[in-house]
Amino acid sequence: MHPVLLHIGSFNLYTYGLFVALGFMTAMWVSQKNAKPHGISSGIITDIFFVILVSALLGARLLYVLINFDVYKSNLLDIFKIWNGGLVFFGGFISAVVATAIYLKLKNLNIWKTADIISPGVALGHAVGRVGCFFAGCCYGKECDLPIAVKFTNPESLAPIGVYLHPTQIYSVFSNLILFFVLLWLQKRKKFNGMVFLSYIMLYSLFRSIVEFFRGDFRGDFFFEFISMSQGIGLMVSLIAFILLIKFSRPSHGPK
């Protein structure tokens, strides 16, 4: 793979950053299309995604740095080099949810309804962004001898060189693509505002926790020497979303 896609003089176009940008634009474009039938303008969606972008990058990077602080404490400037990889989804997700909810409240927009509108786009954009992880070699898998195993050979890759690994980045791409189509299907059949968003949280967290079992990169301390921090967060978030889905599915209990 090619962590650096293009060299022009002193300028480097990092493949990871390119696909993260493409994923962001994909998510915003799909969300703008979804928002039109609900009378929400493209401009509002653009503003929402600006809030998501800033808050998600800050939260995702902060959690990654906290988990891997031993790597950064001797060179704090490396904290800002996000083009080399190093974003934790749940850190970005939690900070983006909080920041976006505050923004929607200030704009007097229905939080649950808007979350339903943007959830499919976020899932698809996440799938595109994960392709960047594959190019960079981050979020790599454990060693394996399966026919689908991949071997990284580029010395700039963040993955171990010359060994066959689980293609965990590709697992994430396909799980997010499946989630995108599931959310589109649910969107046409939802019974209350928030149903699509909560389904997204529940299913993504579950998929992520499964993929984590095949990850080989360091992901912080483990709970009970069995599950990683991201798995612990994911399973807890998935359980909360499931409980809310059950609660809101009852007549008169769902959010308006």
When mean pLDDT is compared across 4-8, 37-41, 122-126, the lowest value belongs to 4-8
Task: Note the pLDDT of residue 229.
Answer: 73
Does the pLDDT value for residue 218 go beyond 60? yes
CA 238 distance to own-chain centroid: 15
Cα–Cα distances in Å, from 241 out to 67, 180, 189, 200, 237? Answer: 25, 17, 18, 9, 6
pTM reported for the whole predicted model: 0.85
Identify residue 251 by its one-letter amino acid code: P
Contact residues for 181 (Cβ-Cβ < 8 A; gap 6+): none
Average pLDDT over residues 116-139: 93
Task: Note the pLDDT of residue 246.
Answer: 93
Cα–Cα distances in Å, from 130 out to 110, 151, 177, 189, 247? Answer: 30, 17, 11, 28, 33
Q: Give residue 236's region: left, alpha or beta (phi > 0; psi -120 to 50).
A: alpha
| Tokens at 216, concatenated | 């080989």
Position of tokens 């001797």? Answer: 74
Task: Note the pLDDT of residue 207.
Answer: 93
